[in-house]
Amino acid sequence: MHIERYFVRGLAHASYVVMSENQAVVVDPERNVDGYLAYLADHGLELRYIFLTHPHADFVAGHAELSARSGAPILVSEAAPATFHHGNLKDGDRIAVGNVEIEVMATPGHSPDSISLCLFEFGVPVALFSGDTLFAGDVGRPDLREQEVDMRELASMLYESLFHKLLRLPRELKVYPAHGAGSLCGRQISLDPFTTIGQEAETNWALQLTDRACFVEAMIANLPERPLYFARSVAINLRGAAFFSDFPPVAHLRLTEFNALKQKGATILDVRPGALFGDGHVVGSLNIGIADASFAVWSGFFVNPDLPIALVVEYEAASSAGKPNKNHRLTP
C-alpha cells in the first residue's frame, strides 16, 4: 500500500490517493482534479472509489468532476443530504481495494455527517483518514453546520466520536487529517502532515478535556470568525460543483470592458504585492496579494461571488499560487 498526499497551501487542505495493487481511492479531492488523473494514469491505476469524509465548508471539492472523468462512484455518509449521484456509507461498512480494507467509522461532531476511514492491510490497522474530526494538535470546530444541528449538540457528538471511537484505536496508528495549520476548520492545527492516535491522546489540547461538559463548553467558546462563504461551499458540495475543466480561460479585458464591469459593481481584485498596489491602483479596488498563503481565505471573506470579478495582475503568466503539492509521499 502507498499513500500520496496532495496539499493546497492557501486552504491548508490535504487530500489523498491510496493505492494497493493496481487499484486506488481518492479521499476528499480538491477542486482541480487533473493531478489525481495524471497520477492514476502514470501509475496504471484503476480508481475504484472517491470518498468524502463530509461536505466541506471551507472549499469546493472536485468529487463530481473526478467521478465524471474517471467513472468511479462517490461514497459519502448516509447522513449527508447529498443530491449528486452517490453511494451511502454507514458505520461499520468495509470496502476492499487491492490488499486493503477500508472500514467506515461514523464520527459526527465537526458536521452531523462526518466519517473517518480506517485502513487495514492484511487485517492490521495501518492508517486513519480523520477528515475534520481529528487534526494534528486540534479537533474540528462544531459550529459550521449549526443551521441543521445546534453547535452544542454537535460538540457533544464530537466528544463521543473522539473519546469513544478514535481514541480506542491503536496508539501507533497513523492519522492523516484533511487540514493542516492555517485552516479555519480548527484553532490550533499543527504543521505536522500526519500524527498518531497516541501522540494526540498525549498532546492535543482538546483531548485533555476528558469531562464531556468541559469539552463541550471549550468547543463552543472563542471560535474563529466564520466566513460567509462556508455555508455556500457546503451547499455546492452537497449538489456537486460545476466542472473546473469547463470554465473558460481567463481573458484579457480591454479598458472599455474593464470600465463597464466596474460601473456594474464588479469587484476589482488587485492581486499584486502590496508595495505595487501602494504605488498606484484603481480607485475602489481591493488588494489581496496572490503570493500570500491566505489569498484564498481572504478572498472568501471579502469578495462577493455573486458579482463579476476583474483581476489586476503583475504578470500575464498564470500564477502557480494555490496549486497542490503532489510530492509528499507518505507510507504508514
Q: Classify residue 320: in a domain, yes or no.
A: no
Same domain, residue pair 45 and 109? yes
pTM: 0.90
How many structural domains is the chain composed of?
2
Same domain, residue pair 260 and 216? no
- The residue type found at 182 is G
Same domain, residue pair 305 and 213? no
Same domain, residue pair 236 and 252? no
Structural domain containing residue 51: 2-240
pLDDT tens for each residue of 203-228: 999 999 999 999 999 999 989 888 88
Same domain, residue pair 35 and 94? yes
- With cell 504508514, the residue in question is 332
Domain of 288: which CATH number? Answer: 3.40.250.10
Same domain, residue pair 204 and 308? no
Distances (CA, A) of 16 to 35, 92, 292: 11, 21, 24
Domain of 105: which CATH number? Answer: 3.60.15.10
Same domain, residue pair 68 and 8? yes
Q: Residue 171's CB: how many other CB atoms inside 10 A?
A: 12
Distance of CA 255 to the CA centre of its chain: 37
Per-residue pLDDT of the chain (332 residues; tens, 9 = 90+): 999 999 998 899 999 999 999 999 999 999 999 999 999 999 999 999 999 999 999 999 999 999 999 999 999 999 999 999 999 999 999 999 999 999 999 999 999 999 999 999 999 999 999 999 999 999 999 999 988 999 999 999 999 999 999 999 999 999 999 999 999 999 999 999 999 999 999 999 999 999 999 999 999 998 988 888 999 999 999 999 999 889 888 888 888 888 888 888 899 999 999 999 999 999 989 999 988 878 888 898 899 888 889 999 988 764 444 344 443 333 33
Q: Classify residue 284: in a domain, yes or no.
A: yes
Same domain, residue pair 127 and 264? no
pLDDT tens for each residue of 146-165: 889 999 999 999 999 999 99
Q: Classify residue 319: in a domain, yes or no.
A: no
